[in-house]
Structure 1
Amino acid sequence: MFLPLLYDPTNWLTFVAYLIVGAVCGYVRMRNQEHVRFVRDENDLLRERLTFLRGLYQGVLDDRTMLRRQILGRRDSFGKMYEMTRKLDEVQPQKIYRTAIQIMQDTLETDCLGIYRLDESQRFARLVAASPQEESILPKSADVAAYDKVMRDIEAKGLWVNRELDGNLPMYAAGVREHGRIGVVIVIRKAAADQMNLYYRNLFLIICGLVESAMTRAFEYEHAARQSMLVPGTSLLNWPSFREKLRAAVELGNDRMGSHLLLIVTDQYPEAGDFNERIVRSIRETDDAGVLADGSVCLLMNQAGERELPIVSARLARNGLNVRNVDAQSEADLLAEPDADGEAT
């Protein structure tokens, strides 16, 4: 019954129309899909270009901001240098340590600073001041031999830069010479990625140069005035000189840049020479010994706290020195005592 439908040509028009409409619809659909795919690919490419251009634009803005800050800084560089020099104009090394940390924190925008004093043998470095965040992190004492690579660069170039990013070594270090040898080392324990550049390195070196000049003057003054600061016939500081040392240590502690112990020797020693020898043998080069206004002998143990008190007391006892600790309030009372002319300090 379907054969007449196939044999009759007039019925073919319907099927032909269906085929033509299907072919056209398929072509239009394929063309639209191809167009959508092309637009999507073009959109992805434009997005990638936009992301790249945004990165370039942000980099230009960052460079502009950095250069603007450098230009503004240079515009006032003479004023800044004068202010730094004025603040560093001290004759006591302990005060310079504190001021140097404050200046470097502000100028170098870092809170990872430490200052070490090398002993006479150049074998050990003792921490004398540090940024508040670093005071409890940096080692109080360091074996110089373990930092031979750092010291070699400082000796040869005046500066160490941790280009290998060794986590066991400071990122920057510079030395301060005393009598031709490295006497003080200034370190930056950590540095951000944008601080590992030539500008930052030169800025650190310039400030270290200012600190070196101030410390050299202070060391020379102390050496020249040493005899006038001592009790005659001993190695003990007289009360006015010892009080200044104590005041500097208290200021470091108040700023959380250092710690100290003030110990009073409780025993009496009839032999002045033997007693003086015991004192010299018992304290480090960064410590001080002196007499109070009442004649009591005191030891100022720098970069030592309550935690180290048992160790320090035991070490002193082995040298025949029995001591008792002076609390913070008693220290404040000592510093508030009037001078010989009756004026409180």
Structure 2
Amino acid sequence: MEDAKCEEVFRANKIDVVIHMAAQVSVITSIANPMQDSESNVLGLVHMLSLSKKYNIAKFIYASSAAVYGVKTELPIAENASCSPISPYGISKWVGESYCSKWKELYGLQTQGFRFSNVYGPRQDALGEGGVVSIFMNRVLTGQPLHIHGDGSQTRDFIYVEDVADAIYRSSYAQLTGVYNLSTGIETSVNTLVESMYHVRDLKQEQVVYVDKRPGDIERSVLDNTKIKRDLDWTPMYTVEEGIQRTYTYFEQEMTKKEAAASIAVEPSAFTTTSLHLFKRLMPYAENLLAFALTAWLTLSQQYGAYGAIDVKLFYITIMGNLYGNRQSVLAVVLSIGLYIYQKILDGRELISLLYDTDFFFQIAIYLFIGLVVGYSIDRKNAQIQNQEQKIQELEGRYEFLNGVYNEVREVKDELQLRILKSGDSYGKIYSITKELESLEPEHVFNATVNVVRSIMSVPNVSIYTVNRSRTFLRLVAHSSKNDTQAPKSLKVEQHEFITTVLRDGKVFINKDLSDGAPLMCAPIYYHDQIAAVVAIDGLSFEKFSLYHQNLLKITTDLVSSALSKAFAYIEATENQRYVAGTSLLRYEAFQNILKTKRLAKEQHQTPYLLLRASKKDMILAEHADLIDGMLRETDYTGLDAENRLVILLSNTSMEDANHVLQRFAEKGISLRVVEEEL
């Protein structure tokens, strides 16, 4: 229905998103009074849609219900299932969905609806099917038996209210439209619900009473939440057991508060309340009359003459005005004028003669002036005080509200932190896993990255490629595969669109089209603000194609980038101790460190490598260093063995590849052979 107050809210505020949750939610009421149901759920919705269009609202989120589906045998129920509601409530929600869809079509208003399953949680009343939880809570806390209709095997899809709030909040800034199921996707029987309450409260078996089944009750109900989980990157956080525990805690605290308040405050009777109110209203008049009586006595007393020309009536008027304001000061003026006239009559003056006496009117004017000025001043001061008190009350109310919100947010934050630390793929556990990256050898960092990414992302296939200096090729430096599938040893950038995208955008790539020849996810690793390597993963399950896992991979590669930067910085700082002077040949100790990492990679991930050693001991290395570098890949290493002979480590190389390398070196007059034994 139209409501001027609603439009005033729209007019007075800059609103981006409207979340319309107001509705008549009782199925029984909808059957008994369908007119009321349609006025609230249909006309009320249309009014809010019209205001949203009028005031250019960006998005309109509204509450629908699983009641639009009616009775279904195929479970879980997906959004594309036919709608055949069996109650006026379900019909009104279905009609509301049509209105929202039409508003999007006609006016471009972005609308999104949620078909809620059975929502429960704190502050819930006993209306709706989800109200069974609050009904049970009230009965448990008051010691009443739980009545279960039927044998308790009937199932519902119970979802905790904080999960609902989380989904609505996410939707408020997501570019989603249409209708979505909002549920856990899990069937929970009423018996299971009662069992959850056994864990939070010691229930006796006799407290559960099974009564006759209600006609028309649906046996099973559960909604498919695949669509909302995929499109919104949302998943319910609370199990039924956890939700029941939190709901019980709330109801228990509320009952404790009510009992404490009842024990302190005694409700006054209606007669007592009326009497007190009447007494407060008459009290100022009684005090005014009492003060007037004292004033009259002082004025008319024989002893008064001793005080000369003091006019006690002015004191009386001033005091009444100061105490009670304008109303009592005016009454005091009227009474004082009457007393003054009475004085004059006692002095022998006739009443008619006073009408011609200017002194008489001057005195009356003084009374009026004093009474009105004092009364008005006090009323104004009291109004200001009252206004300030009202503002203080409003501020206190806001403070209590914000403090309540703050405490709730802190509770949710603490709960989320606890869940994050406990979850298997949490950000909190990333840091413990990535301790493996703590190395000053880049090769070890690359090898450790494979283990870290596999652990965090829960994927079988991880490949690490380094980018060459010209950014034309990617060379494989580390790889793991559950099914022994070998990754390409090199990738030409221009031949792979996903590599071009990663190198150009510097962001995580997701293969949403499932294109052949591209990994499911790919992320860059940085060094000095340049992409030094690329992580590619395969074997990712469908439900992990989400923003959450995209961010998870980004955080992981950021940590790898940090570890790699430390390792490269160490290499640069120790260059003189690491290399033979004037060459790129690794000294014996440095070469051994890299060789150990390669052996570890071979043991863990079956990453092949080969060693080549020069046949001549007296080979002049300085003369051949540049020639050798030009014939090897950037992922290969040259160094010295214990006898100062040239040794070459070929990364990711088979025997067939090694033969080609041996041939190239032989053509340049350098004789090498494959080393089988340990150096």
Question: What TM-score results when the alignment is normalised by the length of structure 2?
Answer: 0.39
Distance 1:151 1:266, change over 3 A: same
How far, CA to CA, are the matches of 1:127 and 1:285 in structure 2?
A: 10
How far, CA to CA, are the matches of 1:103 and 1:75 in structure 2?
A: 17
Match of 1:60 among 161, 185, 191: 185
Shift of 1:225: 1.7
How far, CA to CA, are the matches of 2:235 and 2:544 in structure 1?
A: 15
How far, CA to CA, are the matches of 1:320 and 1:73 in structure 2?
A: 64
Match of 1:263 in 2: 612
Distance 1:256 1:149, change over 3 A: closer
Match of 2:218 in 1: none
Deviation readout 1:310-338 (Å, 9 max, x if unpaired)? 222223323332211111xx22xx3xxxx
Q: Give the residue type in structure 1 aligned to 2:602.
A: G
Q: Give the residue type in structure 2 aligned to 1:191.
A: L
Distance 1:318 1:191, change over 3 A: farther
Deviates more, 1:48-57 or 1:297-306: 48-57
Note the 1:27-66 alignment, pairs <5 A.
49-53=72-76, 60-61=185-186
How far, CA to CA, are the matches of 2:540 and 2:645 in structure 1?
A: 46
Match of 1:128 in 2: 477
Deviation readout 1:10-35 (Å, 9 max, x if unpaired)? xxxxxxxxxxxxxxxxxxxxxxxxxx
Shift of 1:223: 2.2
Do the aligned partners of 2:460 and 2:482 also contact (CA within 8 Å) in 1? Answer: yes
Deviation readout 1:25-62 (Å, 9 max, x if unpaired)? xxxxxxxxxxxxxxxxxxxxxxx923224789696239
Deviation readout 1:241-283 (Å, 9 max, x if unpaired)? 0000111101100112511001101135654443212221222
Deviates more, 1:240-249 or 1:104-113: 104-113
Do the aligned partners of 2:460 and 2:538 also contact (CA within 8 Å) in 1? Answer: no
Note the 1:89-104 alignment, pairs <5 A.
89-104=438-453
Q: Give the residue type in structure 1 aligned to 2:447.
A: R
Residue 278 (str. 1) matches residue 624 (str. 2): no
Do the aligned partners of 2:459 and 2:538 also contact (CA within 8 Å) in 1? Answer: no
Match of 1:140 in 2: 489
Match of 1:254 in 2: 603
Deviation readout 1:113-154 (Å, 9 max, x if unpaired)? 100011111111110011133764210011011124433345
How far, CA to CA, are the matches of 2:476 and 2:450 in structure 1?
A: 13
How far, CA to CA, are the matches of 2:238 and 2:450 in structure 1?
A: 26
Distance 1:285 1:98, change over 3 A: same
How far, CA to CA, are the matches of 2:530 and 2:661 in structure 1?
A: 29
How far, CA to CA, are the matches of 1:78 and 1:112 in structure 2?
A: 21
Match of 2:421 in 1: 75
Give the SS at the match of 2:72: helix
Match of 1:159 among 500, 508, 513: 508
Give the SS at the match of 1:231: coil
Q: Give the residue type in structure 2 aligned to 1:104.
A: V
How far, CA to CA, are the matches of 1:185 and 1:249 in structure 2?
A: 19
Q: Give the residue type in structure 1 aligned to 2:527.
A: E
Do the aligned partners of 1:126 and 1:140 also contact (CA within 8 Å) in 2? Answer: yes
Give the SS at the match of 1:110: coil
Give the SS at the match of 1:60: coil
Do the aligned partners of 1:98 and 1:257 also contact (CA within 8 Å) in 2? Answer: no
Do the aligned partners of 2:617 and 2:645 also contact (CA within 8 Å) in 1? Answer: no
Do the aligned partners of 1:135 and 1:258 also contact (CA within 8 Å) in 2? Answer: no
Note the 1:1-345 alignment, pairs <5 A.
49-53=72-76, 60-61=185-186, 67=237, 74-76=420-422, 77=426, 79-133=428-482, 136-267=485-616, 271-327=620-676, 330-331=677-678, 334=679
Paired residues in the alignment total 285
Aligned-CA RMSD value: 2.9
Distance 1:318 1:144, change over 3 A: farther
Q: Please, which runs of 5 or more residues in structure 2 have no aligned partner?
A: 1-70, 79-116, 118-156, 158-182, 187-224, 240-415
Distance 1:134 1:273, change over 3 A: farther
Distance 1:223 1:295, change over 3 A: same
Distance 1:68 1:116, change over 3 A: farther
How far, CA to CA, are the matches of 1:89 and 1:300 in structure 2?
A: 24
Give the SS at the match of 1:208: helix
Task: Tell me which structure has the larger Cα radius of gyration.
Answer: 2
How far, CA to CA, are the matches of 2:498 and 2:600 in structure 1?
A: 34
How far, CA to CA, are the matches of 2:484 and 2:667 in structure 1?
A: 29
How far, CA to CA, are the matches of 1:189 and 1:53 in structure 2?
A: 30
Give the SS at the match of 2:500: helix
Specify which structure has the bigger relative contact order, considering alpha-carbon pairs within 8 angstroms and separated by 6 or more residues.
1
Match of 2:356 in 1: none
How far, CA to CA, are the matches of 1:303 and 1:110 in structure 2?
A: 21
How far, CA to CA, are the matches of 1:175 and 1:128 in structure 2?
A: 14
How far, CA to CA, are the matches of 2:592 and 2:236 in structure 1?
A: 45
Question: What TM-score results when the alignment is normalised by the length of structure 1?
Answer: 0.74
Do the aligned partners of 1:112 and 1:189 also contact (CA within 8 Å) in 2? Answer: yes
Give the SS at the match of 1:300: strand
How far, CA to CA, are the matches of 1:168 and 1:242 in structure 2?
A: 35
Match of 1:10 in 2: none
Deviation readout 1:161-202 (Å, 9 max, x if unpaired)? 112211221111111122332110001134221111111111
Do the aligned partners of 1:158 and 1:175 also contact (CA within 8 Å) in 2? Answer: yes
Q: Give the residue type in structure 2 aligned to 1:172.
A: M
Do the aligned partners of 1:114 and 1:127 also contact (CA within 8 Å) in 2? Answer: yes
Match of 2:209 in 1: none
Deviation readout 1:284-315 (Å, 9 max, x if unpaired)? 11111111111121001111122322222223
How far, CA to CA, are the matches of 2:490 and 2:77 in structure 1?
A: 49
Do the aligned partners of 1:129 and 1:135 also contact (CA within 8 Å) in 2? Answer: no
Do the aligned partners of 1:154 and 1:173 also contact (CA within 8 Å) in 2? Answer: no
Distance 1:53 1:258, change over 3 A: closer
Do the aligned partners of 2:480 and 2:606 also contact (CA within 8 Å) in 1? Answer: yes
Match of 1:33 in 2: none
Q: Give the residue type in structure 2 aligned to 1:60.
A: G
Shift of 1:232: 2.3
Do the aligned partners of 1:132 and 1:255 also contact (CA within 8 Å) in 2? Answer: no
